[in-house]
């Protein structure tokens, strides 16, 4: 038999403002154990306890339980003795029992791996001691029945494994409720709880064949072993596999004294924050209740009181409570227990200083003694996040780099879009969930058709999916909701560009256009009914929810300035209109990385000429229609160039399949036939002719320009003439003409020839010239493979990762919503690849395309203009790849600026 020969420390004590360990020992003590030790070591009064190390878990699994338990015995017994001494209680005592909690704690947090066992040490004698201590019979017996239930579930394996399994304890409780004709647990009497304890023990005996363990030591050892066993449970193994955590890490076991805030008027419990988590203001704040347990503070049955006098006064003002009433009935902890408050105030300062960040703390006062149960980095709103980081920087607590790393890029979104009033949100009824396609909050009345988006003052355009024809309606609506389509569906991309709230791909919605009804989960919503969308979570909410406009603080600008100081990549924007361009410049965009010219053709006066161009049977007919479009495009480009004032503007030539532009409804087809003086049948024929089985892989991108060169000619002319017109006005324009969907070098060479010939022609006509570039998108896998050949001719590459993802994974951008959710739920995919760049797969093509491109043209300018250009982890990847810029929708520009800075800081670290 193997033995433990090595003499090592296996049990680490903490408490009494001392500790054997510290926060650097996470690998040995687990995250929780290391933090408890750290708090205790810096003089914070945490309830005493001990941690059995993660190494013991590994020994337990390799050498067997008996050897390990035997080895631990002495140190655990002396550790319990030490806890007893600090608490003045005794394990299993019927007068003054020590109760403990047993928890797992790996080096990283693994939520749900193993539940906690509370109140361990209770038995038929100790419960009487608890009654005496708390003077609360109901509480004591309720704790006892909860303990058996928890212990039975976690340690004795009686917890249901599947949804179909019956929880034996719940069954007993339900049975008793039926018998007593009551509904809630809180309605149980002391007698009921005593009966439950009896019945629970009976159930344990029946299920396990043994009596419920009454010896506290027996309870403890079994709980410790259950924690170790849980490390190799299915849940933990699955979680480790998903996150690539090795099995030999092991989990620690934390055993800690329980403290009670419900032991009379000299006890209490509360939660506090070192700064305001909502606004970031540097004020200590929080809530507490006298003679209560932790859950009472959050349960909202009793009104919690404020910790500070200032907080209490502010609360009274809002709650319209008179000062005298407040002081008497809702005094602050500062007023009620000044010395406890002073002590708490000292600890909150100490903890914030120690961790250099805002802390969220839980505390309990047991019979006049303050215990800090937990401290952690406090969650905060976007506004608070920015203010706290900047304040800590100004206070000299953190340096510039750390300040930037403290900001979560995606959370900046909250500062840019309207948000729901958090109080109103608490009462909201969520009817379904879609993808959080474009952040923000929107409340409005349902309309089902884009041309009816003005029917009410505030509308939510509700569609199965949107198409370019819906553009104007989307612009007017407050929010956009679709039943189909993913994160790069038409609705999502366009909405993000507009900074408009959008929830897409909500598969549970059944939209009946004919009857103008939205059905979901057995409910019906008609045109005009109010709904609300949360574009940041994907929630679809019934009725109105109050929204607020965000206010951009001075700190926001300071963070952006600091970002630019550290980032090495440029941030450009995807913008199709002067308005979007101006918004993006305001957010600090350093150029335009993508102007999708097709969006310009959908406005009422243009779509007609566009359709005439498409329906024309001859080159002459097409040219005629293009001539009509030319001045309109030219003035669009002038507007955009002017808005960008000398910054580079990448204009992409026409990209989508033509059938997206032709009318599909009979009435519009008739109108077009009349306008063009042709028969309705001819229009219908042409529409049918343009229909493709796979339009995304069909007649689109540079295939249009190569089959109809006159389109490329006209667009180039519009771009060059616009730039020359501005030059005359003294405004510099820097166009970068971009050819879409190139797969072979020849496709690009052909287009470039037309572009340069046209530009030269215009220069000659005008007897003037401007500088411009001609480059291509890399969005077909073959283009990435052939990048060296293409780069010989191209001035720049821009990775179109929307199409590149679509074509590399073979997932349709517009249909992936049907299976992506299931893939994400099952863990087949960890992220939506249209949202977060698939670095492992698609990323290889991006890296390869960049490397190969630069192998023939070392100074090749490389950027990204797919939706990933505004997603933090993808931006970091682009930085690593050596890109010159990322380009994203206007409202994501600040996120990309910060992400680029963080990427640069991390790259140098
Ligand atoms: C892309 O494919 O990544 C891209 C930017 O083009 P679009 O989304 O217009 O196809
Ligand atoms: Mg594309």
In a domain, 645, yes or no: yes
pLDDT at 1 over 50: no
Section 383-408 average pLDDT: 96
What is the per-residue pLDDT for 826?
Answer: 86
In a domain, 442, yes or no: yes
Total tally of structural domains belonging to the chain: 5
CATH number assigned to the domain comprising residue 585: 3.20.20.60
Last residue of a domain, one of 175, 195, 211: 211
Residue 461 sits in the same domain as residue 440: yes
- 3-state secondary structure string across 281-345: CCCCEEEEEECCCHHHHHHCCCCCEECCHHHHHHHHHHHCCCHHHHHHHCCCHHHHCHHHHHHHH
What is the per-residue pLDDT for 488?
Answer: 64
Residue 729 sits in the same domain as residue 872: yes
Please state, for a pLDDT cut of 70, what percent of the chain lies above it.
Answer: 98
Please indicate if the annotation marks 803 as binding a ligand.
yes
Residue 227 sits in the same domain as residue 173: no
Output the residue whose Cα is nearest ligand 1's atom 9.
596
What is the per-residue pLDDT for 299?
Answer: 52
Residue 725 sits in the same domain as residue 616: yes
What is the per-residue pLDDT for 300?
Answer: 52
Q: Which of 629, 757, 653, 775 is CA-nearest to residue 703?
A: 653
Residue 629 sits in the same domain as residue 770: yes
Best of 739, 866, 878 to mutate for ligand 1, by most ligand atoms within 8 A of CB?
866
Catalytic residue set: 490, 865
What is the per-residue pLDDT for 326?
Answer: 94
Q: Is 253 helix (H, G, I), strand (E, B) or coil?
A: strand
- Name residue 445's beta-bridge partners: 459, 530
Q: What is the pTM of this model?
A: 0.80
Please indicate if the annotation marks 779 as binding a ligand.
yes
In a domain, 235, yes or no: yes
pLDDT at 4 over 60: no
Q: How far apart are CA 270 and CA 294, in angstroms?
A: 7
pLDDT at 742 over 60: yes
- Answer whether 220's CB lies under 8 Å from 151's CB: no
Q: How far is the CA of 201 from the centre of ligand 1 (A)?
A: 64
What is the per-residue pLDDT for 296?
Answer: 66
In a domain, 407, yes or no: no
Lowest-pLDDT range of 20-29, 817-826, 896-905: 817-826
Residue 459 sits in the same domain as residue 539: yes
Taking the CA of residue 488 as reference, the ligand 1 atom at the shortest distance is 8
In a domain, 408, yes or no: no
- The H or E element that residue 759 is part of is helix 745-766
Residue 506 sits in the same domain as residue 432: yes
Please indicate if the annotation marks 192 as binding a ligand.
no
Please list the alpha-helical segments (H only) found in 113-189: 126-134, 137-154, 168-180
Top-confidence range, 156-170, 575-589, 730-744: 730-744
Last residue of a domain, one of 548, 581, 616: 548
Q: Which of 139, 199, 140, 190 is CA-nearest to residue 168?
A: 199
Q: How far apart are CA 904 and CA 569, in angstroms?
A: 8
pLDDT band of 279, cuts 50, 70, 90: confident
Residue 35 sits in the same domain as residue 6: yes
Q: Which residue has the higher pLDDT, 690 or 878?
A: 878
In a domain, 352, yes or no: yes
Q: How far is the CA of 263 from the centre of ligand 1 (A)?
A: 64
Section 197-220 average pLDDT: 96
Q: How far apart are CA 727 and CA 350, in angstroms?
A: 62
- Name residue 120's beta-bridge partners: 100
- Name residue 101's beta-bridge partners: 256
In a domain, 409, yes or no: no
- Answer whether 538's CB lies under 8 Å from 435's CB: yes
What is the per-residue pLDDT for 213?
Answer: 97
- Answer whether 387's CB lies under 8 Å from 555's CB: yes
Taking CA atoms, 60 is separated from 55, 231, 388, 414, in Å, by 9, 11, 44, 48
Tokens of 523: 């409910």
Taking the CA of residue 596 as reference, the ligand 1 atom at the shortest distance is 9
pLDDT band of 120, cuts 50, 70, 90: very high
CATH number assigned to the domain comprising residue 78: 3.30.1490.20
DSSP 828: S
Structural domain containing residue 508: 418-548
Residue 826 sits in the same domain as residue 883: yes
Q: Which of 284, 499, 500, 277 is CA-nearest to residue 386?
A: 277
- Answer whether 288's CB lies under 8 Å from 304's CB: yes
Residue 761 sits in the same domain as residue 869: yes
In a domain, 389, yes or no: no
What's the pLDDT tens digit per position in 439-496? Answer: 889 999 999 999 899 999 999 999 998 887 788 889 899 999 999 877 667 788 788 7
Section 197-219 average pLDDT: 96
Residue 791 sits in the same domain as residue 858: yes
pLDDT at 217 over 60: yes
Site residues for ligand 1, CB cut-off 6 Å? 594, 596, 655, 779, 800-803, 865-866
Best of 575, 599, 775, 803 to mutate for ligand 1, by most ligand atoms within 8 A of CB?
803
Q: In what order do the strands lie in the sheet with 11-15?
A: 18-19, 11-15, 49-52, 252-257, 100-105, 117-120
Section 522-532 average pLDDT: 95
- The H or E element that residue 675 is part of is helix 666-676
What is the per-residue pLDDT for 52?
Answer: 97
Section 678-704 average pLDDT: 93
What is the per-residue pLDDT for 6?
Answer: 60
What is the per-residue pLDDT for 5?
Answer: 56
Residue 337 sits in the same domain as residue 189: no
What is the per-residue pLDDT for 210?
Answer: 95
Last residue of a domain, one of 380, 395, 426: 380
Q: Which residue has the higher pLDDT, 116 or 59?
A: 59
What is the per-residue pLDDT for 134?
Answer: 83
Lowest-pLDDT range of 231-235, 450-454, 742-746: 231-235
Please state, for a pLDDT cut of 90, what percent of the chain lies above it.
Answer: 71
Please list the alpha-helical segments (H only) found in 487-618: 490-498, 554-566, 578-586, 604-615
Output the residue whose Cα is nearest ligand 1's atom 1.
800
Taking the CA of residue 806 as reference, the ligand 1 atom at the shortest distance is 2
CATH number assigned to the domain comprising residue 283: 3.30.470.20
């Amino acid at each position: 038999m193997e033995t433990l020969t090595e003499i090592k420390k296996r049990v680490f004590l903490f408490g009494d403002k001392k500790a054997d360990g510290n926060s650097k020992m996470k690998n040995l003590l687990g995250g929780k154990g290391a933090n408890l030790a750290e708090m205790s070591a810096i003089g914070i009064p945490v309830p005493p306890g001990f941690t059995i190390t993660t190494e013991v878990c590994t020994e337990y699994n390799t050498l067997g339980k008996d050897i390990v338990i035997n080895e631990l015995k002495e140190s655990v017994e002396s550790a319990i003795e030490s806890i007893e001494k600090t608490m003045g209680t005794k394990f299993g005592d019927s007068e003054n029992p020590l109760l403990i909690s047993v928890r797992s704690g790996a080096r990283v947090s693994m939520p749900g791996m193993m539940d906690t066992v509370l109140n361990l040490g209770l038995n038929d004698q100790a419960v009487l001691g608890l009654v005496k201590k708390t003077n609360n019979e109901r509480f004591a017996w309720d704790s006892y029945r909860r303990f058996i239930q928890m212990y039975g579930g976690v340690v004795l394996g009686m917890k249901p494994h599947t949804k179909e399994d019956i929880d034996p304890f719940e069954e007993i409780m339900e049975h008793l409720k039926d018998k007593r004709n009551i509904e809630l647990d809180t309605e149980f009497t002391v007698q009921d709880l005593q009966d439950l304890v009896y019945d629970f023990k009976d159930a344990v005996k029946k299920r396990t064949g043994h009596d419920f363990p009454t010896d506290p030591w027996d309870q403890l050892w079994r709980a410790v072993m259950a924690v170790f066993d849980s490390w190799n449970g299915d849940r933990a193994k699955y979680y480790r596999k998903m996150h690539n955590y090795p099995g030999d890490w092991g989990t620690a076991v934390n055993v800690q004294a329980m403290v009670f805030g419900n032991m009379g008027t000299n006890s209490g419990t509360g939660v506090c924050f070192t700064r305001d988590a909502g606004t970031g203001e540097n004020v200590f704040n929080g809530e507490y209740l006298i003679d209560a347990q932790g859950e009472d503070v959050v349960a909202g049955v009793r009104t919690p009181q404020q910790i500070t006098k200032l907080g209490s006064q502010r609360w009274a003002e809002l709650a319209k409570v008179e000062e005298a009433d407040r002081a008497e009935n809702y005094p602050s902890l500062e007023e009620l227990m000044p010395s406890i408050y002073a002590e708490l105030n000292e600890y909150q300062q100490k903890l914030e200083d120690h961790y250099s960040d805002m802390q969220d703390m839980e505390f309990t006062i047991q019979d006049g003694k303050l215990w800090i149960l937990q401290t952690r980095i406090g969650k905060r709103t976007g506004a608070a996040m920015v203010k706290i980081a900047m304040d800590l920087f100004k206070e000299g607590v953190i340096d510039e780099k750390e300040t930037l790393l403290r900001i979560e890029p995606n959370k900046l979104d909250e500062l840019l879009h309207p948000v729901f009033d958090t109080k109103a949100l608490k009462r909201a009824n969520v009817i379904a969930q879609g993808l959080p396609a474009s952040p923000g909050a929107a409340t409005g009345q349902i309309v089902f058709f884009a041309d009816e988006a003005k029917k009410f003052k505030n509308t939510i355009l509700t569609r199965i999916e949107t198409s370019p024809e819906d553009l104007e309606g989307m612009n007017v609506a407050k929010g956009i909701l679709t039943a189909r389509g993913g994160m790069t569906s038409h609705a999502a991309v366009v909405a993000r560009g507009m900074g408009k709230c959008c929830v897409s791909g909500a598969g549970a919605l059944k939209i009946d256009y004919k009857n103008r009804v939205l059905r979901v989960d057995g409910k019906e919503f008609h045109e005009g009914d109010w709904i609300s969308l949360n574009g940041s979570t994907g929630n679809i909410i019934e009725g109105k929810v109050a929204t607020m406009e965000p206010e951009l603080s001075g700190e926001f600008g300071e963070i952006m300035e600091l970002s630019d100081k550290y980032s090495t990549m440029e941030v450009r924007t995807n913008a199709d209109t002067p308005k979007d361009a101006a918004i993006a410049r305001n957010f600090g965009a350093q150029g335009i990385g993508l102007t999708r010219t097709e969006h310009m053709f959908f406005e009422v006066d243009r779509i007609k000429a566009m359709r005439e161009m498409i329906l024309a049977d001859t080159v002459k007919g097409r040219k005629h229609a293009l001539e009509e479009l030319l001045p309109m495009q030219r003035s669009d480009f002038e507007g955009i160039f002017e808005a960008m004032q000398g910054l580079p503007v990448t204009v992409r030539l026409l990209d989508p399949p033509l059938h997206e532009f032709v009318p599909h409804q009979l009435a519009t087809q008739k109108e077009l036939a009349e306008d063009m003086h042709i028969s309705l049948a001819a229009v219908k024929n042409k529409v049918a002719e343009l229909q493709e089985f796979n339009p995304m892989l069909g007649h689109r991108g540079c295939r249009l320009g190569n089959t109809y060169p006159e389109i490329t000619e006209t667009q180039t002319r519009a771009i060059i003439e616009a730039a020359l017109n501005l030059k005359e006005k003294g405004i510099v324009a820097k166009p970068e003409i971009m050819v879409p969907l190139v797969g072979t070098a020849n496709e690009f060479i052909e287009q470039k020839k037309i572009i340069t010939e046209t530009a030269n022609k215009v220069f000659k006509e005008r007897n003037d010239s401007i500088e411009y570039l001609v480059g291509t998108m890399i969005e077909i896998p073959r283009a990435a493979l052939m990048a060296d050949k293409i780069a010989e001719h191209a001035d720049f590459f821009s990775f179109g990762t929307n199409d590149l993802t679509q074509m590399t994974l073979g997932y349709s951008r517009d249909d992936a919503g049907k299976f992506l959710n299931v893939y994400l739920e099952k863990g087949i995919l960890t992220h939506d690849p249209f949202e977060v760049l698939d670095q492992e797969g698609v990323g290889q093509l991006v890296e390869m395309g960049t490397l190969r491109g630069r192998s023939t043209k070392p100074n090749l300018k490389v950027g990204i203009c797919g939706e990933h250009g505004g997603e933090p982890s993808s931006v970091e990847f682009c930085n690593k790849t050596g890109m010159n810029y990322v380009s994203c929708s206007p409202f994501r520009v600040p996120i990309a600026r910060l992400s680029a800075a963080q990427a640069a800081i991390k790259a140098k670290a």
